Amino acid sequence: MPRITHMTAREVFDSRGRPTVEVVVTCAGGRPCRAITPAGASTGAAEAAELRDGGNRLGGWGVRRAVENVRTEIANAFVGCDAADQALIDQRLIDLDGTPNKSRLGANAILAVSLASAYAAASTFGRSPIEHFQRLWKKIPSTLSSEAPAAPASATSIGAGPSLPLPMVNMISGGKHAGGQLDFQDFLLMPVGATSFSQGLEWIITVYQTLGRVLNASGYEGTLVGDEGGYGPRLQSNQEALDLIIEAIQRAGYRPGDDLAFAIDVASTHFYRDGFYHLAADGGRRLSSQEMIASLVDWVDHYPILSIEDGLAEEDWEGWQALTSTLAERVQLIGDDLFATNVNRLQRGIDLGAGNSVLIKLNQIGTLTETLQTMRLAVDHGYAPVISARSGETEDVTIADLAVATGAGQIKIGSVARSERLVKYNQLLRWEEELNAPYVGSAALYEAQG
Ligand code: PGA
Ligand code: ZN
């Protein structure tokens, strides 16, 4: 049994230069293994709570208290524990914290402990992280009643793992991730026509570089990038962003829609106030839920958009039901702020018919086991899981390992610039070569049944 012999933590810095928590766990017979917690900017209200120091130091973003919690209270409780029993580790973290949103010890402290323990257990067993995560994933019980017929599984079935995911890659950033006028937070591309992960990534990189030249030629900034590496030009409208990306796809020699299709992250919670969606672009408009849905339908009618994330706000459940009955046959509707990787919120969505896919962000919920439980619930109910980075990232590659091991099918890492993004793509390239695992490609997108 991989018994935890040592646990420590330190304050390190993320891709925005903000402090975050790194935890190092060592088991008897294994090597020290570390994990670092990421951080969002467009955070949802239902997310687990980060513990920040406040005060004057580093603008109040310091995490010394969270680090101290790991070094003292958490380490004292966990040294001697079996790191292989991830479910027990995570339950003990939840119990020790004692709050519903992990605010006492800090979800930023708790997640790094949870993940570093998993890597430490894998190291002691001499297993690759893929093998270890796969075992943990398989141990998560089904959420379906025993009478429910099992879905037919193939190597690329979602959740059958290991497989290489379809990447959803940021080209232009708006919203809270850049300084421009765009309401939509991310304009992304998915290489739906590629036959391997590496081919898809190569197409994306070619289009990304072409887009930089197209932006420059159109008189826009084509070098400066936003938090996730997407370009941050001061465009006048969301439509202009989509048109420029289409131009880049064509100039690079690919077919919009067939080779590369759009995904958008509207992140609409951040312009929803008093029951209305307040759009800044396109001259400034105030839309009701129904009008917002009509506008999304219009986008889908005119552009090859196959996925829309947070098309409506996190508390607009009724709007989400209407959006889903209107568009679910045609596009993947991902809940990010809506579900917050939370099993109870996802269950509510399933019951209400809200959304058909779920963004999976480990630090929204705060432990590995709870993340896997949310993924299990999604897969059992035909919701497509999309494993996602945060806008504040580091060299930690856990999401790449997790996406491959579980066969989640889709991954959203940001753009193809800035090393906190590229470390994950590069890790996926390594797994592709080493495991010879299948590429899920466009089959990973949510598909309406019947
Ligand atoms: P965040 O953005 O990490 O700033 O929340 C990512 C997203 O909304 O998908
Ligand atoms: Zn989002």
* DSSP state string for 222-235: -S-B-TTS-B----
Q: Whose CA is nearest to atom 1 of ligand 1?
A: 40
Distance CA(438)–CA(335), nearest Å, equals: 27
Helical (H) or strand (E) element with 10: strand 4-13
Atom of ligand 1 nearest to the CA of 310: 8
Return the pLDDT at 55: 98
Return the pLDDT at 449: 63
Return the pLDDT at 148: 65
pLDDT tens, 88-99?
Answer: 999 999 999 999
Return the pLDDT at 119: 98
Residue bearing tokens 């197409």: 203
159 torsion bin: left (phi>0), alpha (psi -120 to 50), beta (else): left
Atom of ligand 1 nearest to the CA of 43: 5
Return the pLDDT at 294: 97
Return the pLDDT at 152: 61
The residue ranges of the chain whose pLDDT is under 70 are 147-152, 179-180, 281-282, 449-450
Atom of ligand 1 nearest to the CA of 392: 3
Which bound ligand lies closest to the C-alpha atom of 45? 1
Return the pLDDT at 327: 98
Active site residues: 228, 361
DSSP 332: E
**Residue to probe by mutation, ligand 1, list 361, 363, 386, 393, most atoms within 8 Å of CB:** 361
Pocket lining: 391 vs ligand 1, CB cutoff 6 Å: yes
Pocket lining: 42 vs ligand 1, CB cutoff 6 Å: yes
pLDDT tens, 364-403?
Answer: 999 999 999 999 999 999 999 999 999 999 999 999 999 9
Spacing of C-alpha 332 from chain mean position: 15
Distance 5 CA to ligand 1 centre (A): 35
**Residue to probe by mutation, ligand 1, list 187, 391, 410, 415, most atoms within 8 Å of CB:** 391
Return the pLDDT at 161: 83
Q: Is the pTM of this model over 0.85?
A: yes
Distance CA(33)–CA(30), nearest Å, equals: 9
**Dihedral of the alpha carbons of 314, 315, 319, 322, in degrees to the nearest 10:** 80
Return the pLDDT at 149: 61
Return the pLDDT at 281: 67
Helical (H) or strand (E) element with 167: strand 166-173
